[in-house]
């Protein structure tokens, strides 16, 4: 129930001790301000990490070949391993039921792409239809590579937005002819990639076509897979780890590589990489929470000390109240009311200041691994709850002591 007399008492007490109240409020506000800034920074790091993983599909496992470092079955070390279609086919035959998406890929950089009088050096990739999901690209016009393109070795190409802007200057490229390394291809689609211009400086063509027209035989540069979704991250991680181990065993056996030679086959498991990054980010955010809460605690201790001084100054007044019949509960509520009010208002000001600073500076303080620092609504509400609890804790001990004062002792106080 709203009690105007109690509010008048609170404002009167604050007015009598403006400087003391101000300094106490500053300590609480600074604690909340620091907490909000640290949480915003933690969110910025999380957003940056997520943006990096957006460049490819979630849970991609890539495998590529290298050079052997150990002799095996009469074969000398230093052999360069070359993956071929048969390696990919063997992996699909053995593990196909586990796959969600899969593709073997051949890639080459610095390839001349020409349209009319315009030209540039870009990258081409021979892919399977699942390359659309694995590369995490979106077709904005036309279509992507299809199974029919692979079967019939169609000379079709899907170009990135960067190539579209460079060569076609705003003209619709669908149906137009370009040359890729002096071979004519028909543009059937345009794609965009969250990785930006670097990733959009590519041409996708059917892998079978690339192998045929560029004289690659059955060579592939690397193979990429995503596994079927699991109920939990732990299950997905366990399956990904087992799959990479089994795939290495298969490929090593097929290519005459020593079982303990770790250099001949390279692998990148983004399921494992994601866990490492997210665990690191979690630890950073927990540390930020710890620092912020410790700062708030320091402010709360200051509030508690101030409230104890206030109780000491109002000892006679409290004694009179109790002599007139005031209950211990009403005394506790009176002290808590003032403590919570000071803490909440000060903390709310610190919260608003922190949010305003993040909103003002955040868009200008960004990098590859730091994007859009912010504090979401849930965290803001949680912070307000922390403020109320902190205010109650700050005032409880002084309030309890005040409630225990005996009227006869209080009335004797000078």
Contact 410, 363 (CB under 8 A): no
In degrees, rounded to 5, the angle at the alpha carbon of residue 103 between the alpha carbons of residues 90 and 48 is: 130
Tell me the C-alpha distance between 78 and 66, whole Å. 9
Mean pLDDT within 179-203: 93
Mean pLDDT within 195-218: 93
Question: 152-168: b or e for each residue (b if 16 or more CB lie within 10 Å)?
Answer: eebbbbbbbbbbbebbb
Query: Cα 236 from chain centroid?
Result: 19
Beta bridge partners of 102: 225
Q: Which residue has the tokens 């903390």?
A: 347
* Each residue's pLDDT tens digit, 366-414: 665 666 677 666 766 776 677 677 767 766 777 767 667 666 655 555 5
In degrees, rounded to 5, the angle at the alpha carbon of residue 238 between the alpha carbons of residues 234 and 244 is: 145
Q: Which residue has the tokens 């959009």?
A: 200
Task: With a cut of 50, say whether residue 54 has pLDDT above it.
Answer: no
91: helix, strand or coil: helix
Residue 57 — very low, low, confident or very high, per pLDDT cuts 50/70/90? very low
* Each residue's pLDDT tens digit, 266-288: 998 877 666 666 676 677 777 77
Q: Of 206, 242, 211, 262, which Cα lies nearest the Cα of 86?
A: 211
Mean pLDDT within 126-131: 95
Alpha-carbon torsion, ordered 238, 242, 245, 246, to 10 deg: -170
Provide the pLDDT for residue 165. Answer: 94
In the chain, domain spans: 4-52+276-412, 67-263
Contact 335, 318 (CB under 8 A): no
- The length of the chain in residues reads 414
Tell me the C-alpha distance between 278 and 226, whole Å. 19
Provide the pLDDT for residue 94. Answer: 95
* Three-state SS letters, 32-86: HHHHHHHHHHHHHHHHHHHHHHHCCCCCEEEEEECECCCCECCECCCCECCCEHH
Tell me the C-alpha distance between 258 and 76, whole Å. 11
Contact 146, 157 (CB under 8 A): no
DSSP structure string for 330-370? HHHHHHHHHHHHHHHHHHHHHHHHHHHHHHHHGGGS-BTTB
Q: Which two tokens stand for residue 386?
A: 């922390």
Provide the pLDDT for residue 155. Answer: 97
């Amino acid at each position: 129930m709203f009690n105007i007399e109690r509010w008048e008492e609170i404002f009167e007490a604050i007015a009598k001790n403006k400087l003391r109240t101000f300094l106490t409020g500053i300590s609480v506000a600074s604690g909340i301000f620091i907490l909000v800034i640290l949480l915003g920074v933690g969110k910025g790091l999380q957003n940056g990490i997520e943006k990096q993983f957006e460049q490819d599909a979630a849970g991609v496992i890539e495998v590529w070949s290298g050079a052997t470092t150990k002799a095996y079955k009469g074969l000398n070390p230093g052999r360069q391993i070359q993956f071929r279609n048969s390696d990919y086919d063997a992996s699909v035959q053995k593990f196909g039921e586990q796959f969600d998406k899969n593709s073997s890929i051949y890639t080459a950089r610095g390839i001349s792409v020409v349209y009319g009088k315009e030209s540039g050096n870009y990258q081409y990739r021979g892919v399977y239809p699942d390359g659309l999901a694995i590369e995490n690209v979106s077709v904005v016009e036309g279509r992507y590579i299809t199974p029919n393109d692979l079967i019939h070795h169609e000379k079709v190409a899907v170009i990135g937005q960067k190539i579209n802007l460079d060569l076609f200057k705003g003209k619709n490229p669908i149906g137009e002819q370009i040359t890729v390394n002096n071979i004519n291809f028909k543009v059937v689609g345009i794609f965009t990639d969250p990785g930006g211009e670097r990733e959009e400086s590519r041409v996708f063509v059917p892998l079978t076509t690339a192998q045929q027209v560029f004289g690659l035989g059955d060579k592939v540069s690397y193979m990429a897979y995503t596994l079927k979704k699991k109920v939990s991250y732990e299950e997905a991680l366990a399956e990904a780890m087992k799959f990479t181990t089994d795939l290495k065993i298969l490929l090593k056996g097929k290519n005459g590589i020593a079982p303990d030679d770790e250099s001949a086959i390279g692998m990148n498991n983004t399921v494992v990489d994601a866990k490492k990054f997210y665990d690191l980010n979690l630890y950073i955010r927990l540390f930020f929470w710890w620092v912020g809460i410790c700062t708030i605690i320091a402010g709360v201790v200051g509030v508690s000390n101030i409230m104890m001084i206030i109780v000491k100054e109002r000892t006679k007044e409290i004694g009179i109240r109790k002599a007139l019949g005031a209950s211990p509960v009403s005394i506790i509520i009176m002290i808590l009311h003032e403590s919570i009010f000071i803490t909440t208002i000060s903390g709310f000001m610190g919260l608003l200041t922190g949010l305003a600073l993040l909103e003002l500076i955040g868009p200008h303080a960004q990098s590859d691994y730091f994007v859009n620092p912010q504090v979401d609504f849930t965290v803001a509400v949680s912070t307000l709850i922390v403020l109320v609890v902190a205010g109650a804790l700050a005032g409880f001990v002084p309030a309890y002591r005040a409630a225990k004062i005996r009227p006869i002792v209080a009335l004797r106080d000078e």
